[in-house]
Structure 1
Amino acid sequence: MAAKKVVVVFGATGGQGGSVVKAILGDSKMKESWTVRGVTRDVSKPSAKALEEQGAETVAADLNDAATLKDAMKGAYAVFAVTNYWESKSADVEMKQGKAMADAAKEAGIQHYIWSSLLNVTELSKGALPKVKHFDSKAKIEDYVRSTGLPATFFLPGFYMSNLPGGMFRQAPPNNDWTLALPIPGSTPVPLLNTVGDTGKFVKGILLNREKTLGKRIYGATDYYTLDEMVKEFKEVFPEAGKTAKAAELPHQVFKDILGKTGLPEEAEEELLQNMRLMNEFGYYGGAKLDESHSILVDKLTTWEEFMKSAPAFKDLK
């Protein structure tokens, strides 16, 4: 019997990485030929123990310590690599981490490297939106991965559905109406992803279609939904609460002021504003269609309607 292929999953206790672990170990067919090595900073934490209960091996590694990355990848076939820009709020830190992972993977002879990437917004917008650092830094890491010659696929997660219920889509004064308030028109298309539920479905599809996906970008979203369509579905799912629900286009400064109240630095306020403007002015994926990315899937993706029905912020609505 052939030895199982090891896939190393970084950020295994986080949203994206945790989804990958669950998708592989929750699939009895996949488990016949694959095993998961979950990477976390502290293997003694309850979240790491929960990975072991699912059947994953856990290893400790630190993205800021290149030596630990090499150990984590030893003997592995594939790697799912992801960074968290918002932890340091530094593109330089993220770039360093991303390059260190790619270098370690190259040294370990990894056969399929999957990088959680995003588009370069400065380039896409021809300099009109130069401050979306958490996109640009991941795109530059993608460029670096390509330059190393690593056999790689690039997974580009869509807009997190989890950002909406109780966050951007909440009850607003003066009448407590449910309002989806963003600094873009209601007609703006947004590629929605149920990050925790569906990231792993895409990564599973990538692993099962190595030849087809090498060198490609896989766009991780269920579908494009306009803000108006999101509100319309909310009204249908929750007819009572949805009677007065609406999408509201916030003035740019008002949006930044709201972010400022959460304690975000001014630079991050502008970054997130430009992130929103990207969707309306240039397209989150630059107008790319999702059909090819969906063609590798074996599991059904979560719709916005399904996500709303399970969202804690909406649980008491009728």
Structure 2
Amino acid sequence: MSGQSSKKIITVVGSTGCQGGSVAETFLTDAKLKNEWTVRGITRDTAKEASKKLASAGADMVAADVNDTASLVKAFSGSDTVFAVTDYWGAAGMKKDVEIQQGKNLVDAAKEAGIKHFILSTLYNATEMTNGKLPNIEHFDSKAEVSKYAAASGLPTTYFLAGCYMDNFPAMFRAADDDNNSNNNQPKTTWTLSIPLSPAGHIPLFSPRDDTGKFVKGIVARRDALLGADVRAATARYSPADLLDGWRAAFPGTPAAVRHVPDDQHVALLRGLGLPPHGAVELNENFRLMDGAFDYYGGKPLSLDVLVDGDRPTTWTEFAKKNPAFKDLV
């Protein structure tokens, strides 16, 4: 019991999600971290299966609500470090003002609880980076507003900026049999990447489930040096050709191609998938942010030097190899 009490507590908001789940898993399983830290997982429902799984792995699971600052203060109490993430697409209901308020609640709670290191998952303001040309990427702008609030609060904060999720890209590949390109009278299947990005575009790809914990591990190890700093977490900037090359490396001999999708078709496709009009426009502008004229991180370099202990980020090829969408190709 004395060993347990000597450990510092890292409280992880969204501990059953992809970013928070990665942080929780890393601190529960890393040989060094698990002896130095206790993981407290924050979730809205401690009875759900993902929460029970974390509890069985050693996490102290606590119920709290990002809309209820008092519940967050109670959940943060006694913690040294907090990893905080908001969910625009889920808990915030795709509403900019709601995500901003939820983020401010997290900052206020951390300030009141006396948190020594607040690691905020955030993004840059896309409207400002593009001089108003892409004003609808609300999940960027809302997070940036929370960052400003955290900075003004005096809370000791490091800003974690996740790259574009690799998880979004398998659905952009489609397989089709080409009856005119047969081998031994068997149609050959070509996998086509359909993407609203020109050849000049570059996407900073990131696998949140695999790699968020690695970056947060590095942030915690270099706390003093990284207070007030931005950590831009991505493997590399990939062009459409790079995506295709990486996919071919994962599945040698499988025909593949890339097809540019015009913006209007992309918006229509997203609407067909069930997104509301503003959500479809938002995601399309998100791609335009990476299409050569602008940059996801405003042209700033990736923060790979934050990684420690020989950790390295997951490549697109590695991610594709283990993705269920391509299981028949392995």
TM-score normalized by the length of structure 1: 0.95
Secondary structure in structure 2 of the residue aligned to 1:92: helix
Structure 1 portions without partners, runs of 5+: none
Which of 259, 266, 276 in structure 1 is aligned with 2:277?
A: 266
Q: Report the Cα offset of residue 177 of structure 1.
A: 3.0
The percent identity for this pair of structures is: 46
Aligned to 2:94: 89
CA distance in 2, matches of 1:147, 1:267: 30
C-alpha distance after superposition, 1:49-102 (max 9, x if no partner): 101122110000011111111110001100000011012110111011000010
Instruction: Give the match for residue 103 of structure 2.
Output: 98
Alignment of 1:69-218 (within 5 A): 69-87=72-90, 88-165=93-170, 167-171=171-175, 177-218=190-231
**Which of 260, 282, 285 is 1:249 aligned to?**
260
Matched residue, 2:16: 13
Instruction: Quote the Cα distance in structure 2 between the aligned partners of 1:42 and 1:237.
Output: 38
Task: Report the 3-state secondary structure (helix = DSSP H, G, I; strand = E; otherwise coil) of the residue aligned with 1:186.
Answer: coil
Alignment check: 8 A CA contact 1:9 1:81 kept:
yes
Q: The residue matched to 2:328 in structure 1 has which SS?
A: coil
Name 1:317's counterpart in structure 2.
Answer: 329
Q: Deviations over 1:28-51 (max 9, x none)?
A: 211121111000011111111101
Where in structure 2 are the equivalents of 1:219-238 lying within 5 Å?
A: 219-238=232-251
2:55 counterpart residue number: 52
Q: 2:227 & 2:173 partners in 1: Cα distance?
A: 37
Q: For 2:202 and 2:129, how far apart are their aligned partners in 1?
A: 17
Question: Which residue identity is paired with 1:164?
Answer: F
Structure 1 match to 2:315? 303
CA 1:120–1:92: 2 relative to 1, 3 Å: same
5+ residue gaps, structure 2, are: 180-188
C-alpha distance in 1 between matches for 2:70 and 2:326: 45
| Residues 186 and 248, structure 1, Cα contact 8 Å, conserved in 2 | no
Distance in 1, Cα, partners of 2:77 & 2:164: 33
Distance in 1 (CA, whole Å) between partners of 2:27 and 2:156 is 20
Q: Which of these two proteins has the greater Rg computed from alpha carbons?
A: 2
SS state of the match for residue 32, structure 1?
Answer: helix
Using the alignment, how far apart are the partners of 1:73 and 1:96 within structure 2? 18
Aligned counterparts of 2:275 and 2:319: Cα–Cα separation in 1? 27
Alignment root-mean-square deviation, CA: 1.5
Correspondence for 2:299: 287
**Across the two proteins, how many residue pairs are aligned to each other?**
314
Give the 5 Å matches for 1:22-33: 22-33=25-36
**Residues in 1 aligned to 2:23 and 2:75: alpha-carbon distance in whole angstroms:** 17
Aligned counterparts of 2:95 and 2:241: Cα–Cα separation in 1: 34
Displacement of 1:225 in angstroms is 1.4
1:63 pairs, out of 55, 61, 66, with: 66
Task: Measure, in 1, the Cα distance between the counterparts of 2:83 and 2:172.
Answer: 29
Contact 2:219 2:306 in 1 (8 A): no
Secondary structure at 1:9's aligned position in 2? Answer: strand
Structure 1 position 173, deviation (Å):
8.5
Instruction: Tell me how far apart the structure 2 counterparts of residues 27 and 314 of structure 1 sit (CA, whole Å).
Output: 29
Deviates more, 1:96-105 or 1:230-239: 230-239
